Amino acid sequence: MLHIHGGGWVAGSPEMTDLLHEILMDTCNIAVVSVDYRLAPEHPYPAGPDDCEAAACWLLEHAAAEFGSDRLLIGGESAGAHLSAVTLLRMKTKYHAVDRFRGANLVFGAYDLSQTPSQRGVGLEPGNDLLDALEGSHSPLDLFLPGLPLEARRDPDVSPLYADVRGMPPALFSVGTYDHLLDDTLFMASRWRAAGNRTELLVYPDTPHGCIALPTVAGHFFPRLFEFLKGSLENSAVTRRTDTSLADATI
């Protein structure tokens, strides 16, 4: 599994999810490679996506020899979900190798960097989310995309919501309803499904960005994640269903 960490393109490191990766390794019997991509503002777009692309290309060539399997997964949280989607699109358009990826775990990602309504705070009560800063100036978006005008931010390599997503692998999308990236997940999951890709969508009521760390969410999310990853690798019935049900916040 190629994992791409979050941090708003400006922070974070591969080590921040070591515990999760150990659990994934033990539970799903997979190897995990996490990308130490360059961060903004010192290294704005396209440095981070280029590093993730390089890691994916290395796995395409070396995964079987290094890890004993050429079946690949990809995933990440927040900015990591965005970079995972961008990486998959580059694998499709530049290398015609997106079919090597059996599944994508896309957790509360940003997919329209020209900003969806929820990114702008529409429909959200102030103070309920960690990402209130997205509504103001000098946001992580501006550090990642310095000087890039609005229309240019809709380039599919920047905002995967605007890409042709036909032929993409099965994906598990997850988000909370207090999250500023709620619309991004809802819109992207809808386009993924409409393009004929196998899609699962988990929406957790009354939870903010980073909701999978909450005990009430984690107890539901992680079993679903383990099921999804195992099913993607085994090409089981899990990846053949489309599940867009609202997750039960009381679980």
Catalytically active residues, by annotation: 78, 179, 209
Residues across the chain? 251
- b/e per residue, 143-176, with b = 16+ CB within 10 A? bbbeebeeeebeeeebbbbbbebeebbbbbbbbb
Exposure of 183 in the CB half-sphere (CA atoms within 13 A)? 14
Rounded to whole angstroms, how far apart are CA atoms 113 and 142?
Answer: 10
Six token digits for residue 221: 């999310």
Edge-first strand listing for the sheet containing 101-107: 33-34, 2-4, 72-77, 101-107, 171-176, 199-204
Q: How far apart are CA 43 and CA 84, in angstroms?
A: 18
CB atoms within 10 A of CB 5: 21
